[in-house]
């Protein structure tokens, strides 16, 4: 019987993840888009970094399948790194490096969070550190873009004109759907301490300057009304059940009579056995938030029914993410 070596495999995978993060932070993948380069050539393209140490990093990335080692000591992109880690590509994820680094540092505090009965790496955007807030929002923007694309794929926008993006963060979700449908108008509600940073990031995105931004409390409200669609992306999972019910009631008041609510987030199966990335997100949340968690599909269905929504339509988005779309009952 072959030994599985789960522990050894997990330790080894961590090294690959850290190598990936370093490559993203250096943006070493983008210069390789024009063809294979040696570490010396790549170091020059990156502005004179240490070529010997860079060679060692590239060698590690190749060992984990993120680069390929070519003849003459050169390194080349794989198809996946070309599509996801080269600037300018539609699926570019390189800007998520800050979010990955933030999250991995937080997960190192897991034992401390368990011992202290609370988050040891609490993420609080009102803590007076604007640089951290901007870094987190910018790092999460690729996921917000993916959320916008998921809505475009699974939702018919022909009868939707006004969208409320609840806790819209970077604004990338709203910018994505508005770019695809010129008839849409979007409003983002964010915490007063976060809203100025959301405005900064919005203004960097095509069409972002046209998106309205409201500083307010997305849980307690009040929120403006008459929206055809309200979106909660990676929002409810930050709170406990009582606050979730309150937030859903507040969102309900913002919808027009035929309005819909879209919830995007990490969602566990009802037996809590997976998916793996949802379990990983749950680990992160216990370090970040007092009551946040990755909840079960059954939990979301019960909360929606309790707050006046019909049975939701479910779409599995991959990566442990789910999309629930619910109309008013």
Closest CA to 328 of 269, 255, 263: 255
Angle between helices 172-180 and 130-154 (to 10 degrees): 30
Of the two residues 47 and 207, the one the predictor is more confident about is 47
In Å, how far are 140, 233, 238, 273 from 170, measured between CA atoms?
7, 11, 17, 31
Query: Which distant-in-sequence residues (6+ apart) come within 8 Å of 225 by Cβ?
Result: 253, 254, 255, 256
* Residues 208-213, mean pLDDT to the nearest whole number: 90
Instruction: Give the tens place of pLDDT for each residue, 82-94.
Output: 999 999 998 899 9
Q: Which of 143, 123, 120 lies closest to 133 in space, CA to CA?
A: 123
- pLDDT score, position 133: 81
From CA 285, how far away is CA 294, in angstroms rounded? 8
Span 141-149, average pLDDT: 92
Mean pLDDT of 80-107: 92
Res 205: pLDDT: 84
pLDDT band at 128 (very low <50, low <70, confident <90, very high): low
Whether omega before 222 lies within 30 degrees of 0, making that bond cis, reads: yes
User: What's the chain's average pLDDT?
Assistant: 93
pLDDT at 318: 80
Q: Is the pLDDT of residue 177 over 90?
A: yes
CATH superfamily of the domain spanning 98-327:
Vaccinia Virus protein VP39 (3.40.50.150)
pTM (predicted TM-score): 0.86
pLDDT band at residue 1, thresholds of 50, 70 and 90?
very low
What is the Cα–Cα distance from 97 to 94, expressed in whole angstroms? 6
Cα–chain-centroid distance for residue 219? 20
pLDDT at 254 over 50: yes
Contact criterion met (CB below 8 Å) for 134 and 201: yes
Q: How confident is the model at residue 41 (pLDDT cuts 50, 70, 90)?
A: very high
CA dist 186 and 211 (Å) reads 5
Does the domain made of 6-86 have the CATH classification 2.30.130.10?
no
159 has pLDDT over 80? yes
Mean pLDDT is lowest, of 40-44, 99-103, 296-300, for: 99-103
In this prediction, residues 160-169 reach a mean pLDDT of 96
Give residues with Cβ within 8 angstroms of 180, minimum separation 6. Answer: 148, 152, 157
Can you say whether residue 234 is alpha, beta or left, with left for phi > 0 and alpha for psi between -120 and 50 degrees? left
The β-bridge partners of 229 are 163, 260
Residue 257 pLDDT > 70, yes or no? yes
Q: Which of 39-48, 221-230, 310-319 has the lowest mean pLDDT?
A: 310-319
275-319 tens-digit pLDDT: 999 999 999 999 999 999 999 999 999 999 999 999 999 999 987
Cis ω on the peptide bond leading into residue 319 (within 30° of 0)?
no
Q: How far apart are CA 60 and CA 65, in angstroms?
A: 9
**For residue 170, is it left (φ>0), alpha (ψ between -120 and 50) or beta?**
alpha
10 Å Cβ neighbour count for 155? 18
- The domain locations on the chain are 6-86, 98-327
What is the structure's pLDDT at 319?
77
Going by pLDDT thresholds of 50, 70 and 90, the confidence category of residue 101 is very high
Quote the distance between the C-alpha of residue 91 and its chain's center. 13
Q: Provide mean pLDDT across the span 16-33.
A: 97
């Amino acid at each position: 019987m072959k030994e599985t070596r789960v522990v050894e495999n997990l330790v080894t995978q961590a090294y690959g993840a850290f190598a990936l993060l370093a490559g993203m932070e250096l943006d070493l993948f983008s210069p390789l888009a024009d063809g294979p380069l040696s570490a010396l050539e790549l170091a020059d393209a990156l502005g004179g970094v240490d070529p010997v140490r860079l060679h060692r990093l590239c060698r590690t990335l190749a060992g984990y399948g993120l680069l390929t080692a070519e003849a003459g000591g050169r390194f080349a992109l794989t198809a996946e790194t070309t599509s996801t880690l080269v600037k300018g590509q539609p699926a570019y994820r390189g800007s998520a490096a800050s979010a990955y680094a933030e999250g991995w540092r937080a997960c190192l505090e897991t034992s401390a969070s368990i011992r202290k009965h609370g988050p040891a790496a609490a993420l609080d955007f009102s803590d007076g550190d604007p640089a951290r807030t901007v870094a987190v929002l910018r790092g999460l923007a690729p996921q917000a873009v993916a959320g916008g694309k998921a809505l475009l794929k699974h939702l018919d926008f022909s009868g939707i004109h006004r969208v409320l993006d609840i806790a819209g963060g970077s604004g990338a979700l709203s910018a994505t759907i508005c770019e695809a449908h010129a008839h849409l108008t979007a409003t983002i509600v964010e915490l007063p301490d976060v809203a100025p940073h959301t405005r900064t990031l919005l203004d960097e995105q095509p069409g972002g300057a046209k998106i309205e931004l409201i500083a307010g409390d997305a849980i307690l409200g009040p929120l403006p009304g008459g929206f055809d669609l309200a979106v909660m992306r990676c929002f409810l999972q930050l709170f406990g059940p009582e606050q979730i019910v309150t937030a859903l009631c507040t969102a309900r008041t913002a919808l027009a009579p035929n309005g819909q609510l879209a919830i995007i987030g990490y969602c566990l199966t009802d037996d809590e056995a997976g998916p793996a990335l949802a379990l990983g997100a749950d680990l992160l949340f216990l370090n970040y938030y007092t009551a946040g968690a990755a909840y079960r599909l059954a939990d979301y269905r019960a909360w929606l029914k309790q707050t006046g929504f019909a049975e939701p339509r479910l779409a599995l988005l991959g990566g442990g993410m789910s999309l629930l779309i619910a109309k008013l009952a």
